[in-house]
């Protein structure tokens, strides 16, 4: 998507064909900064410390991390050690495992001197595939937004609520939840987005608002507790969120707070859709509440907030009494029964075993 008129992806191979460049998302929305990753350790740090984040982008960065590792040392031992190091960065997004497994399956049968080139080629392909997948999610989701807009008599505003950032910054390009919104906006539908701020790291306020603004999409940032009130008053036509892991039965695990929005949507008859790429589906599990590991992050993300002062400096301040304990659960699971539909690159289906199996017959068990 465009940043001040210039098209960007979130990750790309540097001009020398060796290093990997990323947009450092910890600096947004205040500074747009491109950072170069030189080795696998840097790729692991970038994922763990959330310079890059979002399930599909985590997978793409891990694929490049394996390529950087092969440039350093293409031995069997390093394939395995690098895969383990990358896998240990963040537990919830299943795309990470998907990408690392795909790279290991490609590399281990090859002779060591063939691994570097093969790894770079596959990492570039994984990124291109992600862009195509997200664009297709956008096309299917556009039809849903169009239908809602038409059913309401084509008002001058169709309101979509989203949580966290599942836009192009969370993927390689387009996004998952936001791809339909970009396509609707580009098609002339007057879409307006309610952007949940998404404490504790504020991916909504910092990233979703930034990227929607850069593309010219109307939006309003709200605190995380507002969605229920808006839905009670008919101010939300539909919700669309992303997911970091979707079970074979259609449970979705996404940024903490997503579940509460789904409950409010259910109570108010507001359609609740989830956009997801195929690699986000974990075919090995059905029950998300029981089986998905929920990342717990440093409590400093809860006890402190970062922002820009009136003087223009970016500063971090403490917001709780010294010594108050805090907890930082990063994701929650929305059971399939609260999800109106899953928007995938293969079409829209019910959040159920049958729905997903209908779209992915070769992968469903
Ligand atoms: O902790 P994050 O910022 O990586 O969490 C991201 C989300 O929860 C997104 O909604 C999810 O990855 C889906 S993104 C396409």
The residue whose C-alpha atom lies closest to atom 15 belonging to ligand 1 is 166
Residues 275 and 348 in one domain: yes
**232 and 105 belong to one structural domain:** no
Instruction: Using the atom order of ligand 1, give the atom closest to the CA of residue 53.
Output: 4
Q: Does residue 53 fall inside a structural domain?
A: yes
CATH number of the domain at 23, please. Answer: 1.20.120.420
* Counted domains in the chain: 2
From the list 103, 227, 94, the residue with the least C-alpha distance to 162 is 227
For residue 66 and ligand 1, the question of a CB distance below 6 A is answered with: no
Task: Provide the pLDDT for residue 91.
Answer: 85
Using the 3D structure, point to which of 91, 107, 129 is the last residue of a domain.
Answer: 129
Best probe residue, ligand 1, of 1, 195, 242 (max atoms within 8 Å of C-beta): 242
Looking at the domain assignment, is residue 134 inside a domain? no
Domain that holds residue 37: 2-129
Catalytic residue among 130, 244, 251, 282, which?
A: 244
203 close to ligand 1 (CB < 6 Angstrom): yes
Q: Are residues 7 and 47 in the same domain?
A: yes
Kindly report the CATH number assigned to the domain that includes residue 235.
Answer: 3.40.50.10470
| DSSP-derived pairing of the beta strands 331-334 and 341-344 | unpaired
**In a shared domain, residues 49 and 159:** no
**Is residue 124 one of the residues assigned to a domain?**
yes
Whether 244 is catalytic is yes
How many Å lie between the centroid of ligand 1 and the Cα of residue 26? 14
In a domain, 201, yes or no: yes
Cβ of 261 closer than 6 Å to ligand 1, yes or no, is no
Same domain, residue pair 204 and 331 = yes
Chosen domain end from 129, 155, 170: 129
- Do 144 and 115 have their domain in common? no
Instruction: Tell whether ligand 1 has an atom less than 6 A from the beta carbon of residue 89.
Output: no
In a domain, 6, yes or no: yes
* Mean pLDDT, contiguous 10-residue spans, the chain (365 residues): 90 95 97 97 98 97 98 98 97 91 98 98 97 98 98 97 98 98 98 98 98 96 98 98 97 98 98 96 97 96 96 96 96 98 98 98 90
Q: Which of 129, 147, 180 is the last residue of a domain?
A: 129
Residues 68 and 151 in one domain: no
Q: What is the pLDDT of residue 1?
A: 84
Same domain, 318 and 175: yes
Pair 287, 249: CB distance under 8 Å: yes
Does residue 119 sit in the same domain as residue 152? no
Residue 103 lies in a domain: yes
Give residue 40's pLDDT: 98
Instruction: Let me know whether 267 and 287 are in one domain.
Output: yes
- Check whether residue 178 and residue 301 sit in a common domain: yes
Question: Does 172 sit in the ligand 1 pocket, CB within 6 Å?
Answer: no
- The verdict on residue 169 lying in a domain is yes
Residue 116 CA, distance from chain mean position: 28
- Ligand 1 atom with the shortest distance to the CA of 277: 15
For residues 114 and 146, membership in a common domain is answered with no
- Is 237 a member of any domain? yes
């Amino acid at each position: 998507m465009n940043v001040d008129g210039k098209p960007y992806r979130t990750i790309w191979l540097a001009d020398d064909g060796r290093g990997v460049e990323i947009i450092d998302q910890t600096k947004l929305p205040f500074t747009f900064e491109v950072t170069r990753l030189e080795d696998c350790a840097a790729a692991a740090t970038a994922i763990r410390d959330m310079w890059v984040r979002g399930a599909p982008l985590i997978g793409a960065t891990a694929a490049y991390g394996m390529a950087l590792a092969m440039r350093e040392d293409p031995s069997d031992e390093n394939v395995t050690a690098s895969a383990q190091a990358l896998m240990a960065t963040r537990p919830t997004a299943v795309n990470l495992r998907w990408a690392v497994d795909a790279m290991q399956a490609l590399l281990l049968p090859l002779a060591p001197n063939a691994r570097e080139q093969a790894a770079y080629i596959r990492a570039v392909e994984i990124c291109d595939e992600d862009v195509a997948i997200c664009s297709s999610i956008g096309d299917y989701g556009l039809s849903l937004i169009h239908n809602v807009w038409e059913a309401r008599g084509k008002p001058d505003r169709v309101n979509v609520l989203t949580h966290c950032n599942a836009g192009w910054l969370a993927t390689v390009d387009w996004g998952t939840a936001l791809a339909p919104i970009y396509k609707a906006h580009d098609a002339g539908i007057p879409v307006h987005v309610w952007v949940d701020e998404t404490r504790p790291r504020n991916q909504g306020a910092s990233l979703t608002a930034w990227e929607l603004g850069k593309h010219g999409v109307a939006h309003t940032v709200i605190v995380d507790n507002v969605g229920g009130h808006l839905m009670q008053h008919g101010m939300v036509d539909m919700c669309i969120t992303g997911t970091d892991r979707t079970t074979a039965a259609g449970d979705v695990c996404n940024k903490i707070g997503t579940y509460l929005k789904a409950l409010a949507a259910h109570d108010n008859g507001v359609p609740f859709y989830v956009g997801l790429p195929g690699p986000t589906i974990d075919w090995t599990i059905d029950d998300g509440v029981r089986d998905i590991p929920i990342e717990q992050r440093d409590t400093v993300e809860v006890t402190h907030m970062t922002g820009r002062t009136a003087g223009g400096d970016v500063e971090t301040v403490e917001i709780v009494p010294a010594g108050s304990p805090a907890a930082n659960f990063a994701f929650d699971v929305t059971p399939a029964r609260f999800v109106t539909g899953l928007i995938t690159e293969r079409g829209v289906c019910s959040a159920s075993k049958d729905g997903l199996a209908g779209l992915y017959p070769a992968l469903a068990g």
